[in-house]
Amino acid sequence: MILGLGLTDLNAQSLGEKSELGFILGGSYYTGELNRMGHFRQVSPAAGIIYRYNVNPRLALRGSVFGGHIKGDDSKSRHAFDQNRNLSFRSPVVEGAFGIEFNYMNYATGRLFGERYWYTPYMIVQLSVFYFNPQAELNGQWYELQPLGTEGQGTSLSNRSTYSRVQVSMPLGLGFKFNIHKKVQVSLEYGMRLTFTDYLDDVRGSYVDPIELAAINGSIAASLSDRSLNQVGSSGRNVGSRRGDGAFRDWYSFFGIGITFKLGQRSECEWSDQ
């Protein structure tokens, strides 16, 4: 159905008016082991650049680049297990994505309030590649967690290899856009990113022996691996006990208000209201 919309009415708007370029300002956050279902919690500033190619009044091709930070902190959780685990992290997230915007109503750039088709809600479906780099603070200094292998990744202590800091995600979102000028559009949008990794926060599996981890990856790795307030293992240590929940993948989200500007000059050929 969507492909059909993209292939019909290709002359709906003049070539000079089909493209838009602009920016979006807002926030970003993540949900995962260190922020379980806490939407719009621990939000950080974010920004992005958006390009649209309006194929017809119902469909636009979309490219975007977003950048922001995500973070999580067990001390802010309401769950006793999380509070005792006592882990925290921060990470930059930089994303490049391409996909479609599907307009729920006919929409035409350049139409103003009082005219037809000057606003519409829309849906976003994209595929993206993103970079992240989880870090944690110890004694006033921040350390990158991926090289430390805090759950023994890439060592004899685990059967898991070191995870990549470049991953693929699927942005899915909703928005509402409207024209405020013949060449200026405003949009409000929110999008969640379905990822295929559980390591945005560097937390997934079980605790490994801190003495063995220190011997392999150093004392900093051992210290940041287990920061629990009370040990829960039968041996007086957490070795083998649950640290994360590998059954679910981590998500991150961007939201904000955007302004895009129509490129090119106005043409005498416009799509009809029929």
Rounded to the nearest 5 degrees, what angle is found at the Cα of 177, between the Cα atoms of 96 and 17? 80
Q: Which residues contact 144 (CB under 8 A, 6 or more apart)?
A: 133, 134, 135
Handedness of CA 189, 194, 199, 201 (dihedral sign): positive
CA–CA separation, 186 and 205 (whole Å): 43
Which pLDDT score, from 0 to 100, does residue 207 have?
94
Count of beta carbons in the 10 Å neighbourhood of residue 220:
17
Rounded distance between C-alpha atoms, residue 89 and residue 143, angstroms: 10
The pair of three-digit structure tokens given for residue 128, joined into one six-digit string: 């993206």
Average pLDDT over the chain, rounded to an integer: 89
**Alpha helix stretches (DSSP H) within 12-55:** none
Average pLDDT score over residue span 26-46: 94
pLDDT of residue 266: 52
Q: What pLDDT digit, counting tens, does each position of 187-196 carry?
A: 999 999 999 9
Rounded to an integer, what distance in angstroms lies between the CA atom of residue 121 and that of residue 176? 4
- Rounded mean pLDDT, 32-50: 94
Tell me, what's the pLDDT at 274? Answer: 41
- What pLDDT sits at residue 248? 85
84/20 Cα distance (integer angstroms): 49
pLDDT of residue 246: 79
CB 185 within 8 A of CB 178: yes
| Beta strand extents in 32-183 (DSSP E only) | 44-56, 59-73, 88-103, 119-132, 135-138, 141-144, 166-181
- How does pLDDT run across 196-233, given as a tens digit for each residue? 999 999 999 999 999 999 999 999 999 999 999 986 65
3-state secondary structure at position 129: strand
Confidence class of residue 77 from pLDDT cuts 50, 70 and 90?
very high
Helix (H) or strand (E) holding 234: none
> What is the mean predicted confidence (pLDDT) over 165-179?
98
pLDDT value of residue 233:
53
pLDDT, tens digit (0-9, with 9 covering 90-100), for 118-144: 999 999 999 999 999 999 999 999 999
**Domains of the chain as residue ranges with CATH:** 2-135+161-199+251-262 (2.40.160.20)
Residue 7 pLDDT greater than 70, yes or no: no
DSSP secondary structure string for all residues of 89-123: EEEEEEEEEEEEEEESS---TT--TTSTT-EEEEE
